Chain A
């Protein structure tokens, strides 16, 4: 939420994308989060990704729950509809919105408190249903709005700002998403925009449940020694399995980067993900392998980032339900109502 209006002035020299929109067209209100908050970097990455994809801002529906992260949809895509619903319930609201109009792009923004605690069930079920969405968790391992309590993603043994040691095991949302059948799964770091922007762009292009866990340090309550979600800790333990570019309407750039090769994944919308492997052994099409890889590195205290799994042939909830192509919200009585003649037959069958 913000009280501060952003100036409407656009510099005439701003670069434009294929639709003629500038970066400013993808911005929202001024953030009221703490200066240096990782969430603001994610906001910037969402803006960048949407700009690069030349998305019409108003064709995006941005939906969130409650919490610091859930405030952020106010800070990007100011010309799109937003919905700051209730704590942990973003996934169900997004699912309903998606069912009503399959033609929009659905961006769900959540936090670790929102998704891994009160909304853990809704997170899981929206993933397993294959809702066509980009579900971003801005994961800082702490409750910022209520001043520093551990969240369910806080690592066991990590310390709070007050020096308390967390004795509960952490929930790894990426591991859960892999198990539940998400068809696009990535992890990134708010401080690594070059990795995060193409991940968000690729996730938006993906048809199906896309999930991105973004480690996003809380500058106020979880950026100290002993935290495993601080800027320093994440930088030191980040192990990227790949880097990628999202190519819309262009051929992939076939340049190999040591030690791996370039792997191109074509998405339903025609965009292509050029995946530059960093870890030569990593196969992002192997769900089981990804689970093992993740667990092995977690045991070593490493945070694996990059595109961890993608199914280019994924189906979404609308395909599962075999719904008509026309958005359900535009159907009217002439096509929905069986009419009085049918009702007469129904009446006759009930005597």
Chain B
């Protein structure tokens, strides 16, 4: 051991588990995170998994954070190294003064360790082999045994873990007792053979409150249930598949007619993404609330239909759980890289509504709202999540629903309205907001029928290639998009303590890291006003924010600063005033990264002012 002092920290550290995919570790690792939550201490866990099925490396990281920072921190204080394949990299990743926990059954050469970390060996394989005969049991219980050992090392209350095991195996007494037994095998071995606790400790606190712990994809799926989606068509793709799977599970629980047992929903696994969005468009055309969930490659395939939705004005909801692109990119790594692809999807002049939830609570709210918006605006609405929100559990405020809420079905002309003699032109802008009335098929024997098409037509849906008719329609679509500005969630602004001419714009899953970064920046003496964008089209307050600041940083997780491009494009602003802060290696952006990038730029500005901004 070098003279580097072991890290000592209570309720503020990062533990990373390195496992082999398929070894059954996920359940134990997640239980570790939940157990800390039960201590009243916030956690921010993340799955880190390469694109593989079984036998290859996988990691699970738990950030224990008394202060409630939910972004990734970067760095590892304790590595639970259970995968020999990744040993060298895992050991190298430990912070100086950190801890290495490993299976010491087989002696390791000293060269495999570092002298600036504390090495903790537990003979996990030996313990399991002496206790269990079944190979699968040996594998599975090894995970619970290391959980038990960790509970002793980190001074966790074993009763809280037992409680979790009890909830997980409720009604399965045999599994319950065997898991509790394994937990204590590891815990007792550690207490008897190791110096417990170590420098990293978990103390009971009250910082979790009434917050819930849920994955973004599951919350979005629940939002679809509450938002009245009755048709879901999807095609499996990482990291979005769990949206449709969760929707299926929620529907099975909450959407069956109690008398007949029949389903008040239809879920179809399409043959591909094209069919999935086609089914959504067909269902929405016919008046049902429908959605699909996909990721970047799926968006690419869907773009023809997205153009049809825009031009023929058919509602659709697409939940895009973004991953690293382009092409197949890194399927299991996170990015915010489909902004431009979605905002202007399809050929010709198009603009689409994008919603950017920051956490599962907003994923729920925005998912439900997406169906109202789709029907109100008669167009595609994108719910832009990403892997970091979608596939990780995150602490968030409880989900809320107003029982008085009725669905906004938009401008639908009924048989009665047609009977009254109302003038029905499918593409007639009667209210000046760019949004026309539509009728559902089958509405009236002689009135209100029309032909939907992707070709140009006049206000009464009659095919037309007249230039003026086409332009009139395209202008109305612009008006409709302007109307959308006031219907979508508005940006949220938070000002610095002292007046500043610098601002920062950010969105979506970047949010928790940004919130934390502000504190780090303030510590460096930098004041920044913040604007969290929650939707496209941009509300007028975005332009105001830009006008009020000399320089605005745009923080995002893609190479080309796509949100910045969109802001420049839509606001006609001098690009030099928008400073890109980009992170795109597929890992979640961290507060450390943001604070360094903005802080360095701010320091530079102090000594070398850039050319005066053009307002």
Chain A positions near chain B (C-beta within 8 angstroms):
1-3, 56-59, 61, 63, 73-74, 78-86, 89, 91-101, 103-104, 121-122, 124-125, 129, 317-318, 321-325, 328-333, 335-340, 342-344, 346-347, 350-351
Contact = CB atoms under 8 A, between A and B. Distances in A.
B231 A96 contact: yes
Contacts of A86: 304-305, 308, 454
Contact of B284 (A73, A96, A104, A325): A96
Contacts of A332: 228, 406-407
B230 interface: yes
Given A100-B283, A325-B262, A328-B230, A92 B213 contact: no
B445 A56 contact: yes
A93 B279 contact: yes
Interface in B21-41: 37
15 contacts: A82-B452, A91-B278, A92-B270, A97-B285, A97-B441, A99-B283, A104-B442, A322-B261, A323-B262, A324-B257, A335-B264, A336-B228, A336-B264, A344-B398, A350-B214
Interface in B259-317: 260-268, 270-272, 274-288, 290, 304-305, 308
B189 interface: no
B286 A121 contact: no
Contacts of B285: 83, 93, 96-97, 100
Contact of A338 (B226, B268, B406, B441): B226
Contacts of B355: none
Interface in B128-142: none
A79 B282 contact: no
A160 B502 CA distance: 69
Interface of B: 37, 208, 210-214, 222, 225-226, 228, 230-231, 233, 254-255, 257, 260-268, 270-272, 274-288, 290, 304-305, 308, 398-403, 405-407, 439-446, 449-455, 463
A333 B228 contact: yes
A91 B275 CA distance: 8
A344 to B, nearest CB: 8
Contacts of B439: 81
Contacts of A95: 268, 275, 278-279, 282
Most buried by B among A79, A94, A339, A346: A346
B455 A84 contact: yes
A93 B220 CA distance: 24
Contacts of B305: 86, 89
Contacts of A98: 282
Contacts of B264: 323-324, 328, 331, 335-336
Most buried by B among A56, A122, A124: A122
A122 B279 CA distance: 11
A5 to B, nearest CB: 9
Contact of A329 (B271, B288, B444): B288
Contacts of B287: 100-101, 329-330
B279 A347 contact: no
A333 B406 contact: yes
A101 B441 contact: yes
A120 B463 CA distance: 28
B163 to A, nearest CB: 12
A96 B278 contact: yes
A121 B272 contact: yes
B282 to A, nearest CB: 3
Nearest to A126: B275
A89 B288 contact: no
A99 B292 CA distance: 14
Contacts of B210: 347, 351
Most buried by B among A78, A92, A331, A342: A92
Contacts of B463: 1-3
Most buried by B among A99, A324, A347: A99
B452 A83 contact: yes
B290 A96 contact: yes
Given A92-B233, A96-B281, 14 more contacts: A1-B455, A57-B445, A83-B285, A85-B452, A100-B282, A100-B284, A121-B275, A321-B263, A329-B283, A329-B440, A333-B405, A340-B400, A343-B226, A350-B214
Contact of A339 (B401, B440, B441): B401
Given A81-B449, A96-B284, A336-B228, A89 B401 contact: no
A58 B401 contact: no
Most buried by A among B257, B288, B401, B441: B441
Contacts of A121: 271-272, 275
Contacts of B270: 92, 125
B399 A92 contact: no
Most buried by A among B212, B268, B304, B399: B268
B16 to A, nearest CB: 24
A240 B600 CA distance: 82
Contacts of A343: 226, 399-401
Contacts of A351: 37, 208, 210-213
Most buried by A among B211, B213, B287: B287
B274 A79 contact: no
Given A85-B308, A121-B272, A125-B275, A99 B442 contact: no
Given A79-B449, A83-B452, A328 B231 contact: yes
A97 B271 CA distance: 17
Contacts of A91: 275, 278
B288 A328 contact: yes
A332 B371 CA distance: 12
Nearest to B212: A350
Contacts of B308: 85-86
A77 to B, nearest CB: 9
A9 to B, nearest CB: 16
A324 to B, nearest CB: 4
Nearest to B393: A350
B288 A100 contact: yes
A226 to B, nearest CB: 34
Contacts of B406: 332-333
A330 B287 CA distance: 8
Nearest to B227: A337
A96 B452 contact: no
A58 B222 contact: no
Nearest to A94: B282
Q: Which 5 A-B pairs have the closest CB atoms?
A: A96-B282, A92-B278, A329-B287, A100-B288, A81-B441
